[in-house]
Structure 1
C-alpha cells in the first residue's frame, strides 16, 4: 500500500491510496461469493456458485462495484493508521481514480487543532461586588407582596396595585387575520413603583397601565431589541392592546419578627435578611461570572488559532438548532411558525443566526479543552463525587429519571456511565475556569517545561459506585444546575461532541448503482 496526502484549506486532507492488484482481485472473488449468497443461480445452492458462473450471470461491472465497496472498508482504516491520521468525522471516498492499478482518493476531516497563543499574558480584573442592602430590601419587599392581602377597588390603577388584564400584541405591520404574537387573557400584573429589567413583556410595561379604570382599554407600541428573551419578539415592533379586568389594592404585612416566622423557620427578621442576602449574593456572583468567563474566553480567542473541518461545525449547528427548537417548544412555538413571524426562511436563519452562534460555541469549547490539556487540569475523586451527587440531585426531579429508576434501587449501568461523564465534564470545566481566573489575575502557578502529552485526568475508578450511592440517597428536587462554566464555554458532555471517524468512509454514489452513504455517528 502506498499513500500520498495533500492538505486542504478547510482542515481536511486529500488521501490517495494505491494498493496491489492482487488485493482487488481477492476482493472481486469475495464480492462474487456474497452475490451468490443472496442471489438465485440455477443449479447452485446459495453461496456455492463458482466465480466464473457469477461473472457470467451478473457481469464484471456488478462484481467490481461490490468489490470496491469491500475493499474500501478494508483499506480506509488501514491507510489512516499507516498515515497516522486521526479523523474528526467520517471520511468520504471522492473517486476511484483507476483500477489498474487500484487507486482511491479520499477526503479525510482532521481533528480540530488549537494554538492558544500568549493566553497566559491576558489580564482581566475580577470586579464583582456583593449587592447592597437596598437589593436585600427589594427582595424582602417581594416576600411582603407574596404574603400580602388584596381588596378589590373601584378607582384608576396606581402604583402598588395588583391588576388583572387582557394583553393582545400584534406586529405593527401585521396583515389582516395574522395570528397575534402575544395573546394572554387574564394576565396578572403588579404595578411596582420602580421599573424592573426582567418585567414581562418589557421593562416599564406596568406603568403603561397607570390611570386606567376597570373596563378601559389602551393601545401603545413597543420595539423589542435583538436581545429579547422570547425569540418570536426579537427585533419586532409590536402594537399592544390592553384591557383592564380588575384592580386590587394591596395591603402589605408589617415587617417584623412575626413576618419572618410566617415566611419560614426564621427566629427573627435579622435571620431572614441573612438568608436573603446570602441567596442574593450567590445569584449575583453567578450572573457576574457568566459574563466574566465569556469575556475572558473571547479574549483568549482573539489571540488563538482554531482550526476544524466543516463536518465538525455542521455537527455543532445541528446541536444549536436542536437547543433553539427546544426553547421554542417551551414557549409553545414551532420553528416554522417562528420563522413566519420573523419573515425569514430556514436557510437564511441558519446562515445568519444559528451558524454564528454555533461557531462561537464550538470555538469556546475547543479553547476550553485545549486550556484544560495545556494546564494539566486534574479532577480528584472527591471533586468527582461531589459533581456526581450534584448531577444526580438535579436529575431526581425529572420525569425521565423517575421512569428509569422505577422498581430499581440503583440506576441502570448506561445511566450511571452517562451521569459520570456529565459530572466529570462539569468538574473539569469548573477547574479549568478557576485556572483561567487565576491566570487573568496573575495568580496561576508556572507551567512545567515538559511538553503536554496527556489529556485532563479524572480520578474515576469508583465513579459508578458513587453514582449508585448518590441515586439511592434521597435529595431535595431542584433545577439542574447551570454553571458559569457551561454557559461561558458552551461545553457539552463527551457523547454530544462531534463524532470520530468511522472505519468505513462515506462514498459518492457510483454511476450505475447508487451506494447508500454510511450513517454518521
Structure 2
C-alpha cells in the first residue's frame, strides 16, 4: 500500500492510496459472488455461476462498483492507521483516480486545533454596578401596574392611561384613496413616554396624545424614514388625525404588606429584598454576558483557530435545530417562520445561522481550551451542592419526580441528566471565574502571593530544620563533655 498525503488550506488532508492490482481482482470476484447471490442466472444455483458468466449478465461496471465498496471498508481504516492520521470526522472518497493500478483519493477532515497565545497577559476591568433606587422603583411600578384597577375617567390623558381612539393617517399633498395610508377605529393604546417597538402607527405616537381629552381631535405630522418597514411609508410625510373616544385611568395598589402577600412574599420588606436580589442578579447576568463575550473576542484576536468545514456545517445544523425547537415551543413551525420573514432555508442558513454557528463554534473551542489549559476540575462536594440546587430549582417550578412515568428507571435517567447538567453548569462557572480573575489581574496577584507564601513557608521550614540541627548538635556536645568529665573522674 502506497500512501501520499497533501495538506489543504481548509484544515483537511488529501490522501491518495494505491493498492496492489491483486487486491482489486480479488475484490471484483467477491463483488461478483455477491451479485450472483442476490439475483438469478439461468442454469446456475444462486452464487454458483462462473465469474465470466456473472460479468456477461451484470456487466463489468457493476462488478467494479461493488469491488470499490468492498475495498473502501478495508483500505480506508488501514491507510489511516499506517499514515497515523486521526480524523476529526468521517472522510470521503473524492475519486477513483485509476483502476490499474487501483488508486483511491480521499478527503479527510482533521481534528479542530487551537492555540490561545499568551492569553494570561490580557487585561479587562470588571466594572459591574448594582442597580440603584431608580431600577427598584421601576420594577415596583411594573408590578403595581400588573395589579392595577382601571376605570373610565373624565380628565386629560396622562401617562399610564389606556385609551381607545380613531386614527386616520393621510400623506401630505396626496389626494383620493391613495392618500390614506393608515386607518383604525377604536384603536387601543397604552400611553407611555417610553419607546415601544411595534407601536402603531409609529414608535412614540402615544406620548403625543398626553393632555388630550375625550371627543378632542389631535393632529400630528410624521416624516417616515427611507427604510420604514411599510414600503408605502418610506420617506413619506403623513398627517395623523386622532379622535379620542375613551380614557381609562389606572389606580395603582398601595405598596404595603397586603400587596406583598399577593406576590408571594411575607411582608413588604421581604418583597423589596427579593426584588433587589432579582434585579441585581438579572443585571449582573446581562453584564457578565457582555463582559465574557468581549473577553473571549479579545482572546480570539491572538488565538489561532483551525477546523474543517464539516465542523462548521454541523454547528450550523445545531443552530437551525435550536431555532426550530424554540419556535415549536411557541407554537410556530420553522417553515411558517421562514415564510413570515419572506426567507428560505438557504437564505436563512447563509445569512443568519452560519454566522451564529461560526461565533458559537470558535467561542466554544476557546472556552474548552481555557478550561483544559487552566486545569479546571470539579470536586465531589461542589458537584453535590450544584446538583441539590438544581433539584430545588426544579421543585420550586412545580416539577415532581413522583409524577414521572416509567418508574425508577425513568427517574434514574432524569437524575443522571440533572447531574450532567449540574456538572456542565459548574464547569462553566468555574472557568468563567478563572477567566475573570485572569483578565482583572486578580489571578496573577493571587499566584504571586501564593508563591511568596510558599517561599516564606520554605524559609521557615529550613530555619526550623536548622534550629533543630543546632539544638541536636548542642545536645550532643553537652553529652560528650559530660562523658569526658566522667572519664576523668574515673581515672582519678
With the shorter chain as reference, the TM-score category is 0.7 to 0.9
Is 2:181 the counterpart of 1:162?
A: no
Match runs of 1:220-259 below 5 Å: 246-259=246-259
Question: Which 5+ residue runs of structure 1 have no aligned equivalent?
Answer: 170-181, 227-231, 448-521
Match of 1:5 in 2: 5
User: Displacement of 1:113 after TM fit?
Assistant: 0.8
**Equivalents in 2 of 1:412, 1:45: separation in Å?**
56
User: Displacement of 1:149 after TM fit?
Assistant: 1.9
Judge conservation of contact 2:30–2:67 (CA < 8 Å) in 1.
Answer: yes
Q: Specify whether residues 62 and 259 from structure 1 end up closer, same or farther in structure 2 by C-alpha distance, changes over 3 A only.
A: closer
Match of 2:113 in 1: 113
TM-score by length of 2: 0.72
Find the structure with the greater CA-based Rg. Answer: 2
Aligned residues: 426
Judge conservation of contact 1:37–1:47 (CA < 8 Å) in 2.
Answer: yes
User: Displacement of 1:57 after TM fit?
Assistant: 2.2
Judge conservation of contact 2:225–2:234 (CA < 8 Å) in 1.
Answer: yes
Match runs of 1:163-312 below 5 Å: 163=163, 190-192=190-192, 194-195=193-194, 204=204, 206-211=206-211, 246-267=246-267, 269-312=268-311
Judge conservation of contact 2:131–2:280 (CA < 8 Å) in 1.
Answer: yes
Match of 1:21 in 2: 21
**Equivalents in 1 of 2:91, 2:397: separation in Å?**
38
**Equivalents in 1 of 2:78, 2:185: separation in Å?**
66
SS at match of 1:289: helix
User: Displacement of 1:271 after TM fit?
Assistant: 2.7
**Equivalents in 2 of 1:295, 1:375: separation in Å?**
20
- 1:112-165 superposed Cα distances (whole Å, 9 cap, x missing partner): 111111111111111101111221122222222223222112455321313467
**Equivalents in 2 of 1:105, 1:116: separation in Å?**
34
**Equivalents in 2 of 1:383, 1:238: separation in Å?**
60
Judge conservation of contact 1:195–1:203 (CA < 8 Å) in 2.
Answer: no
SS at match of 1:378: coil
SS at match of 1:292: helix
**Equivalents in 1 of 2:357, 2:430: separation in Å?**
24
Match of 2:426 in 1: 427
User: Displacement of 1:22 after TM fit?
Assistant: 2.9
Q: Specify whether residues 435 and 207 from structure 1 end up closer, same or farther in structure 2 by C-alpha distance, changes over 3 A only.
A: same
**Equivalents in 1 of 2:86, 2:375: separation in Å?**
22
SS at match of 1:6: strand
- 1:76-118 superposed Cα distances (whole Å, 9 cap, x missing partner): 1222222222222321111112222221110111111111111
Match of 1:141 in 2: 141
Question: Which 5+ residue runs of structure 2 have no aligned equivalent?
Answer: 170-181, 448-492
**Equivalents in 2 of 1:397, 1:165: separation in Å?**
43
Judge conservation of contact 1:199–1:205 (CA < 8 Å) in 2.
Answer: no
Match of 2:72 in 1: 72
Structure whose residues are more often helix by fraction: 2
- 1:162-205 superposed Cα distances (whole Å, 9 cap, x missing partner): 34679999xxxxxxxxxxxx99999876434x526789689746
Judge conservation of contact 2:164–2:246 (CA < 8 Å) in 1.
Answer: yes
SS at match of 2:442: coil
TM-score by length of 1: 0.68
User: Displacement of 1:42 after TM fit?
Assistant: 2.2
